[in-house]
Structure 1
Amino acid sequence: MESGRLDEVGTAPDEQAIQTTVALDGGGTDIARARHLAAGFLTRLQSEHGLPVSQRAMDVTRLVVSELVTNARKYAPGPILLVLRVTRGTVEVVVWDSDPALPIARAADAGRVGQHGLEIVMAVAQGFEAQREPVGKRITARIALADDPGGAITGRQPL
């Protein structure tokens, strides 16, 4: 089930969070679908809400979504829930899956083929959190929307 619009959800009396949610069934098109959803979400943030989204934020968000959904598909049976939420100038990428085992970043090894996804996410995100849930786990990565060293920002600046 994918929300067809950006849902505004109150997070505090003086703050609104903009979010979208999609349930993925664990099929072969999940990763591409999730990346497409992320790109569309950030594009709508710019066009409908006038929020600044740097090219770096766009690229990093798609990368983080891809890596987290790939890991969920690879290591957890069953459905995946992806939530994209904007609060306080960041986009939160939240991925829930049914496996309660928390991911562990492996030591850097340039000779290792594969299994670098968590390392990549932790290196590019401004925040990372993994929590067990009553069923499975929830992984959250935070990416600054206007973080683009040396690049341009699209949209209006927040007051």
Structure 2
Amino acid sequence: MDLAGQDEGSPPLADRLISAAAAFEGSEEIAEARDLARAFLTRVQAVHGLPVSGRVMGVVQLVVSELVTNARKYAPGPCLLTLEVSEGAVEVTVWDSDPGLPVPRATDPGRVGQHGLEIVTAVCRSFEMHREPVGKRITAAVELADDPGGAAVGRQAL
């Protein structure tokens, strides 16, 4: 191992895939999906040394909760959740068996409920929906950097 904790000849940490995945079949498992996200981000920070603030931890759990809830509510069968660190962000991907893409509703402060997609798109760096041969895949990316200037929490600007 070198001083950076890498095996000689192994790719740099930035090039390694940091991910976690699980399948969920019941609405009672939505809390388990949030727990997976929390454990994943804790590992990202503790094992890989990437800073994860309390804000990022909360936003990622919110995004996971909203996307898995929608998959469980509107699609039959299981849904698959994948979390991956890529290009300075946590990518949250949820696959489900329903090919219908969700349609964001117009902002309506008087509407009770059904604001999840609005919230997710507002807090994420990017949001993509794709039909798959079976079902659909939704990916939302949450920045790991905490301030608008791009400085990550736990690191000092020079």
User: TM-score by structure 2 length?
Assistant: 0.84
What do residues 82-137 of structure 1 show as CA deviations (whole Å, max 9, x unaligned)? Answer: 00000111000000000000011000011111111100000000100000000000
Distance 2:127 2:152 in 1: 25
User: Unaligned regions of 5+ residues in structure 1, if any?
Assistant: 1-13
The residue correspondences of 1:1-159 to structure 2 (distance < 5 A) are 15-25=15-25, 27-148=26-147, 153-154=153-154
- Aligned-residue offset at 1:29: 1.9
Task: Name which structure has the greater RCO, CA cutoff 8 Å, separation 6+.
Answer: 1
Q: 1:56, 1:148 within 8 Å by CA — same for their partners in 2?
A: no
Partner amino acid, structure 2, of 1:24: F
Partner amino acid, structure 2, of 1:19: S
Where has structure 1 moved over 6 Å in runs of 4 or more? none
Q: 1:97, 1:136 within 8 Å by CA — same for their partners in 2?
A: yes
Distance 2:97 2:152 in 1: 39
Aligned-residue Cα RMSD (Å) equals 2.0
Distance 1:137 1:112 in 2: 27
User: TM-score by structure 1 length?
Assistant: 0.83
- Aligned-residue offset at 1:16: 1.9
- Aligned-residue offset at 1:147: 2.0
Tell me the number of residue pairs that the alignment of Structure 1 and Structure 2 aligns: 142
